[in-house]
Structure 1
Amino acid sequence: MRNYKRKTDKGKYSIDMLEKAAEVVREGRSVRHAAKTYNICHVTLGRYIKKKNKRLNAVDINFREEWKPLAGYYGNRQVFTPLQEIALVSYIKTCSDIYFGLTPRDVRHLAFLCGKKYNVPMPNTWSDKELAGADWLSSFLKRHPDLSIRTPEATSLGRASSFNRANVSKFFDKLSEVYDRHSFTANDIWNVDETGVTTVQNPSKIVARKGVKQIGAMTSSERGQLVTLTVAVNAAGNAIPPMFIFPRVRYYDHFIRDGPTGCIGAANKSGWTTEVDFLLFLKHFVSCIRSSPEKPILLLLDNHQSHLAPDCLDFAKENGIVMLSFPPHCTHRLQPLDRSVFAPLKKQINTAMDAWLRNNKTPESTVKPMSIYDIPSILKIAFPTATTPKNIQQGFEKCGIHPYNREIFQDADFAPSFVTDRPDPDLAPSCSHDVSRDSQGTPVQSFSNCSHTPEKFSPEVVLPLPKVAPRKRKGGRKTRKSAILTDTPEKKAIEEEFAKRGTPGLIKKKGNVSQTRMPAKSTPKRSLKRRSAECSSSEEERECFCLVCLESFSTSKPGEEWVRCLNCQLWSHFSCAKKSKMYICHNCQSDEISE
C-alpha cells in the first residue's frame, strides 16, 4: 500500500519511557510490574528488553539490523537505512550547490549504483532496469522534506568558476582603496550597464480554461529587433535618463521623441554599444551629475570593450570619474543593476508591451506590429516603475558596495567554483559526515567540513563530484581583472593594448581556433561566406552578429552560410536572408523608405 494510515496507537511508546521501565526490570522487578507502573504493554516491554540485550551482546551485528528500532513499527521494505539516506541527501545537496544538480532520473540511477556497490538488498525491478523505482523516489522525497524538485537557472561555466573568493576579494580590495582615497557618499557611487530590449515580449500570465494543454498569447512577431539600453543608477536610489542605441546606419531625433524625459539616442549598424556610443553616454552622464576633478564620483562598470577605449578613459579622468571595473563573469552577483533593477525592468517592459498590443490596432481592428521606434514610448512607462529608490538601494546593499560589506557573500555563494581545478581548500563543500554513538549505543549523525563521506556508504565513491578542466583561451584575448581603469598605470596599459591592435577592419572568414582581423583597406571578394570547421587564416577577426536573429558568428554551426548586405556590408544567416545572394537588410530598406 502506497499511503498506509495507521488504525491504532500501538507501538507509539516513547524510547525514554521504555528505557525507564527497562531500568526498573534491571533492578529486579518483574516485567509486568514495570509495564503496569508506566502504563506500557508488557509484551512490548519484554520484546524491547530482549532486542536491546541481543544488540549489546552481539560481537558482529549486521549493518541493517543495527538501524532497526527497538520498539514500534519500521519500514520493512525500505531499501536504505536512515544513515545511508542521510549520505544520499548530503550528496544531492552538494551537487545542487555546485550547479551540477541531479535530475530525478539521475537520483534513481544513483540509488541503484549505491545499492549495487554496497550489496544492499534491492527489488528485482531495480536490477532489471538498472534504475530505482519511481515509488522509491516519491517516498524518499517524503521522508526528506528538505529536498524538492526545482527548475534550475542556466548559469555559464565561466560565471560559475570565476565567481570565487579570490576574485571577489580583489574587487573589494580595489573598492576599499578608492573609498579610502576619496570620501564618496551614496550620491557619488554609480553603476552603469547595458541591456537589450526587443520588439517581441515574453507574455505575462493569464487566466484561462483549466485542463487545456497549451495556452497562447499574441506577440508582435516571431523574431524581434533589438535596441540597446544604457542605464546608470547610484547608491542613493537615483537614476539618470537612459540612452537608446538603435540598429540603424543614421540616427534621427524623432527616434526618441516619445521616450523618457531627458533621454538620448544613438545608432550604428549593429545596434550594440561601441566606443563612440559609450563616449557619448559619458558626456550625457557628466551633464546630468555635474562631476569634476574637485568633486569626483565613482563609476562601477564591466570590462566590455567599449568601456576601455582610451578616449573614454581620458574623458572620464578629465571630468573626475573614477572608473572601477568588476571581475570578469562576476557581474551577476556583484553588479547592482543585475541584482535588483534589470529583472523588474524587463517585467515592466513585458507588461507595457502587452498593453501596447491591445491599444494599438489598425482601422481594420487588426493588431499592429511593433517596431523599434515604439520602444522609447514603452520605456517611458516601464523605466520609472522599475528604477525605484528601493530597488536600486537594495541592489547596492546585496552586492556589499554600499553600505560597504566585503563579507556579504558566504561559503555557499562560492560553492559553484568547486568544479574547477582552482578551488580554494577552505571553501570545499561540507558534503560528508562521521558516524558516532550516544551513551546508549545509538548511531548519531555528525557533520564535518571535510571532503570525504563515510567509509561504509559513500555516494561520492560511486559517482564522483564533477571536475572541469581549465578553460583554453582562444584568439589570444587579454585576461581582464578588477582594476581602477582611470589610474595612470592601468590607463597606460590599456592605451598600449589599443595601439597594438591598429585600425579594425572588415570581417572575412571564421576559424574555430583563432579569430582574424583584416587590414582596414582590405575588402572581401565574395558576398557569401561559409563558417569552416578549420582555421582559415592566422589573422584576427572581429565578432559579428546576424542582423535578423542576432546570433553571433562564433556560435554558429560549422558549414553554415552567411550573406552580406550590399549596402551596409553587415552579415546575416543565408537562411535568415531568405536565401538571397542579392541581399539588402531590413535596416537599409527602412532607411531608404524613410528618405
Structure 2
Amino acid sequence: MADEFVEKEGESNKPKSPMRGQYKFYTPEMRYNIGKHAAEYGNKSATQKFSTPEKKLSESTVRGMKKKYYEQLNAQKKRKVDDTNFDDSDNEQVLTPKKRGRKVMLGEDLDKLVQQYITGIRKTGGIINTSIVMAAAKGIVTSKNRLLLFENGGHIEITRTWAMSIMKRMNLVKRKGTTSKKVTLMENFGEIKDKFLSNIVKLVKENKIPPELIINWDQTGIHTVPVSQWTMEIEGSKRVEITGFDDKRQITGKFAGTLVGDFLPMQLIYGGKTDMCHPKFSFPSSFNITHSENHWANAETMAEYINKIIVPYIDSVKDEKDFSIRQKSLVIFDCFRGQITDEFLSLLNKESILYATIPPNCTDKLQPMDLSVNKCAKDFLKEQFQQYYANEVTKQQEKGISVEEIKIDLSLTNLKPLGARWLLKLYHFLKSNPDTIYNGFHKAGIAEAVGYCR
C-alpha cells in the first residue's frame, strides 16, 4: 500500500494534544526600544514602562532583549572601526528575534531543494512516499557534496523518521490505509500452536525426516515501487485512497527455506496471459518464472512450483546426503486454497512429500518465512529501489537539471527488468545468510520442537 503524501486541508477529527500558552509578540522596533531602555535605566524600569494590563512583560524577557541590544551595539562599533565611511544614521533601530526551532539537518539550501522536488512531484500528480523522499534527498545531497552523507563520514543520516519530519514541515499528514481487516489472534492460540507443533514432531519422528528436508514456503506480494501500509491523505478525511496500489504493479514471489537454513530458488508470478509479461532478464535456470492473469498463485502455478522447485531440490539433497530414494520429506505451508486441492495433495503424495498446514489466522506467529524472510526481503528490495532512485536524481542534478524538472522513469517497462535484477541480488543475499532462514523456524517453535538447534 502506498504511503502517498498529500496536502493538509481542514481540521483533524483527532483530539488536539495540550499545547503551551501563546508566545507574546513584540515587533522588532519594540524589542529594540525595550532593550535600549533596559540598558539605560535597568531591567525593572523597562518591565514597568512596557507592561500593559493585557500583556505583562517579564524581567527574563527584558534581559534577553537587553543582551541582544548590546550585541548589536558592539557589532555597530566594530563596523565603525573597520569602515571609516560607516554612518550611524544608516543603522535600523530594530532587533530581529532568532528563528525558533532546531536547525534543519540538511541545511537551509539543501532542505529547500528537497521540498521543491517534492512539490514538483505533487504538482504532476506523482506518488510521494518515504522511499521516494529518502532516495530523492540522498540524490540531491550527493550531487552537491557526497561527503555530507553519514555513510561517507558526514553528519547527514537520511532515515525514514527524517522523511516523515520533512513531510510534516511541508504541512502534509499521514494516514494508515489497508485493504483488509486486521486479524485478531484467537484466545486459544497456545492450544492451537501446541497441536500444530505436535503434528510436525509426530511426522518427523515416525518418518525419520532429516532437518535438510523440512521445508517451509510462503508467498508474498512484491510491489514494483516499494511501498508500505501507510498512506498520506488529507487531514480529517474519512476515506483513505491507496494511490498506485493495483495488481498491475505487483508480482507474487514464493520464498522457501529449510530448517538447516538453506534458501531455495524462487518462483516469481507475473501478471499477464503470456510469457510476454515476463521481464527481459535472464534468471537462473533453477528459478520458476511464470504468470497468471492476476499474478496470484493458483493450482497451475502450485503444480509448477512442486515440479520445478521443490522436487529438484529434494532430489539434490538426497543425492548430496546419500539419503534413500524413498526418504520422505516434509513441507509446511498455509491453507491457501490453491494448495489444498485433491490434485495438489496427490502430487505431494506421489513425490513422497508429507505436509503440515499452518492453522488459519496464525501465519504471523507460526509461518517461518513470514517471521524472518518476508520483511527482510521487502526491506532489501526497498533499499535497492532507493539506491536506484537516488542515483537517477544525482545524475540529473549533475547534468544541470533543476529539482522541479527532474523526472524519474517509474514505468513498468523500465522497472520490471530492474526489479528482476534486484530479486536475483536478494536471492544471493538470503542464500548467504542461513541464520535468517533458520530464525523463522526458531521463532515459530519448530526448531526446538523437533530438537534441532544451530
- TM-score range with shorter-chain normalisation? 0.3 to 0.5
When normalised by structure 2's length, the TM-score is 0.48
Greater helix share, 1 or 2? 2
Highest relative contact order (Cα 8 Å, sep 6+), 1 or 2? 2
